[in-house]
Amino acid sequence: MLEVIILAAGEGKRMNSARPKVLQPVGGRPMLAHLVDTAAELSPDRIHVVIGAGGDQVRSALAGRDLVWTEQRERLGTGHAAMQALPDIAPESRVLVLPGDMPLVRTSTLVSLLESDADLAVLSFIAEDPTGYGRILRAGDAVRGIREEKDASDDERAIDEVNSGVLAAGAADLAAWLGQVGADNAQGEYYLTDCVALAAGDGRRVDAVIAGDAGELMGANDRAQMAALEQVFQQRARRSLMEQGAALADPDSVQVRGDIEVGRDVFIDVNVVLQGRVRLGDGIQIGAGSVLTDCELAEGTVVHPYCVLEGARTTGACSIGPFARLRPGTELAADVKIGNFVETKNARMHAGAKASHLAYVGDADVGPAANLGAGTITCNYDGVNKHRTVIGADAFIGSNSSLVAPVEIGDQATVGAGSVISGEAPAGQLTLSRARQRTIAGWKRPRKKD
């Protein structure tokens, strides 16, 4: 049996944030969410999360996940935190303990630690700058202890093999060692790392598995370290996009903040942001400066520069932008054109429909090959309720027209420019609503008084 304990009770005071440290975002998601996903890939029997300050926020952020929550009411160190979860763990289980601020650790790295047959195994790495980390103390190849920075001698501070905070041991053994841990140290805390020396003193085998990539074991205690974590995450995410088949004009300028899948020959220009759940089919082009959130775009779709898409879906190759905004509920079929300064929301555009510029299409169903002229708006909101506009196939809506919903425009109907349409526009007919033009003879412009 394998059970995982994630230590997520830290306040993160140096973050200067109202959010607990483990909820600080990396790649658009809380650090803890990344770690829970990685732990779940190990198929453990249970995942225990130890929470403290801001515990309600943490629970809420991971609502719906199959987790066992444990509260650490007093913050007395990592050893004390782990002890809070152990009563709910079967003594015969193997326990993997993870710090909650390690979002980049790979499943394969944790597997390599769990493959150790030592009685207690820790995950270590070689640090270019070991400042702040606990040092791995060895006698030859044997691990004899871990010394926290504040308690280390000058010689011990010179050691570059450091502790990641990840530990694996039998539940019964871990409980016995934690029962012997004291708080006689510089911070007055119960260190989980003290179990290493206790295990070695009992003649048990202790192993430190050195991770090949120190970057994946990075944690964060302040905003600068969060920025460093984000850089590593973004490098991984961009590499994944390119491995899937995307060409990135300037990889360093692309921001990935979610679950992104791309097809072959996708082109992503500079300063693009992809967030949430985004699916891009083969051959899609995303123009410079565009932001896509929770979108699914079909093969061949072109998003021109500086578009903002949220909750949009295309079912065939179409053209969007530049400077277009597609809001949730937008669905575009093949050959649809959404031009510059067009906004859509909860709108379905059928094959070949066009809104080429300066239009608002909300709560609407636009038929095949229909054309919406510049300045067309669907007046869908009466101040309390939303109403729907239905535009038939091959209809032509003249420029600067207002369609007051609920309203229906028939197939091949024409609406004259500048009209306000509040009733049915019959199929195949011209419908318009304008005041009669007149010229006032002798009228003069007002002039300023002296």
Q: Is 357 a catalytic residue?
A: yes
Smallest CA-to-CA distance from 400 within 381, 415, 380, 422 is with 415
Give the containing element (helix H, strand E) for 234: helix 223-244
Residue carrying structure tokens 């020959």 = 265
Can you tell me whether residue 168 is helix, strand or coil?
Answer: strand
Q: Are strands 94-99 and 161-170 parallel, antiparallel or unpaired?
A: antiparallel
378 touches 395 (CB < 8 A): no
Residue 442's Cα: distance from chain center in Å?
A: 66
Residues contacting residue 54 through CB under 8 Å, at least 6 positions apart: 11, 19, 20, 23
110/129 Cα distance (integer angstroms): 23
Please tell me whether residue 147 adopts helix, strand or coil conformation. Answer: strand
CA distance linking residue 254 with residue 95, whole number of Å:
38
**Catalytic: which of 34, 80, 350, 357?**
357
Tell me the CA distances in angstroms from 318 to 300, 301, 321, 355, 381, one per residue in order.
Answer: 7, 5, 10, 12, 28
Report CA dihedral (33, 35, 38, 42) to the nearest 10 degrees.
Answer: -120
What are phi and psi for residue 269, nearest 5 degrees? Answer: -80, -175
What is the distance between the alpha carbons of residues 193 and 178, in angstroms, rounded to a whole number?
10
What tokens appear for 166 in the block? Answer: 């990840």
Q: What is the DSSP string of 364-383?
A: EEE-TT-EE-TT-EEE-B-S
Listed in order, strand segments (DSSP E) in 107-250 are 120-126, 135-139, 142-147, 161-170, 206-210, 246-248
Pair 72, 50: CB distance under 8 Å = yes
Please give the positions annotated as active site.
357
